[in-house]
Structure 1
Amino acid sequence: MIQFFNVSKTYSGDVPALDGVSMQIEKGEFVFITGKSGAGKTTLLRMVFRADLPTKGTVLVNNFNIARLQKESIPYLRRNIGVVFQDFKLLPQKTVFENIAFALEVTGIPKKEIAPRVMRLLQYIRLKDRRDEFPLRLSGGEQQRVAIARAIINNPPIVLADEPTGNLDPEISMDIMQLFQEINQRGTTVVIATHDVDLIKKMRKKVFCLDKGKLIDIISSDEVASS
């Protein structure tokens, strides 16, 4: 589903953000991308939804070469990928309901279908009673759940998350991870970038380890469980 073939990315100067990375993520997997700050985690995720292009190498998403996509095909690619950010990126002037509904509106979903779909998802993430609140009146964990709901409202086959628990305390972080686990159990491929080693050990999923742009290790779920 997601394949990197000898991928490098250089933004400026001689130090690459990614350096010769080759990896494969299968359909329906739940994997972590880990490494210190500056290891290349965010750059790797940005390539999957074509916010960045490789300087060298090839990135395939659902067998599409992202560098060869026609301009009109990029929105189709992105509709098939839900993205969750560390800082939530919710629209502060819109309510919880409106933030999630907006992701349906921009894809042309008929208005009569939007409210029922949003309400079902709000119940699933346990925020139905907060539907009319504005984001800044929510806790960090609640804001992140809204961000996740917005990312999955269109039922994308892939969900990417960049440090989704970076601003949350450990207990709330595990609640968020449990939500990702439930999403994955529905068949969605989940890829999470994080530097939180304790969280990774608790989740026991495959881990791709980056260091200074290089893929230095791939740790299986069994190896994580025994570490």
Structure 2
Amino acid sequence: MSDEEKRRWKKPATEKTGSGRSVTERKVIARNARTESSKKWIERQLQDPYVRKAIDAGYRSRAAYKLLEIDEEAHILKRGQRIIDLGCAPGGWIQVALLKGAAEVVGIDLLPVQTIDGATIFEGDVNNPDDVRAVLAALSGPPDLVLSDMAANTTGHKQTDHLRTVTLVELAVDFAITHLAPGGAFCSKVFQGGTTQELLVTLKTHFKTVKHIKPPASRSGSPEIFVVAKGFKGANVRKGENG
């Protein structure tokens, strides 16, 4: 399972998958892979320079470099921030946030995530009000930054996959607008050419700047890009207002 797949927002399977496989474990899996697609994926992982860099640097996934590269361009990570990471498994983005000096980091995912020193992690559902209250209660105040690397399970049907992804982005946007501190920022994975026009209007209404970023660590063949919104104006801003 790739780091992208581990971060997907989905209902837990009967047998939950752990995270942080070593190179040796990957080689064992490669030898035992039963399908050609599995063999190709594992071979790609073993040859991926970002996978090797992540292992050498102690990151739990290559996705850590996506956030590092996004921050290099957009400067969304700052010392002393309170940060919430939606769909945080296996924890690579949390590690980066702490490395950049975040004061408080809280993550939530349907998948179990190994503990990370300096962070609070919940195995829960952002659709569950009780879980959301627990996440917010773990911070000393409203978050300065909301991150989301959530992605829906793919079906192979482009329209269905697009709708599922849009639903998750809408969920993350709603969470950010509801809970962000004034002046805060939001970063979320999106697909299929970016956010929908309606979502883009919503983001531009509530944030001073909105842009799309395709970090180098995102594979060229992947449809993923990330939307970054900065300068949160508040939840009660109406369309057409300049905040």
Same fold (TM over 0.5): no
Structure with larger RCO (C-alpha < 8 A, sep 6+): 1
Q: Could you tell me the TM-score, scaled by structure 2's length? A: 0.26
Bigger fraction of residues in strand: 1
Q: Could you tell me the TM-score, scaled by structure 1's length? A: 0.27
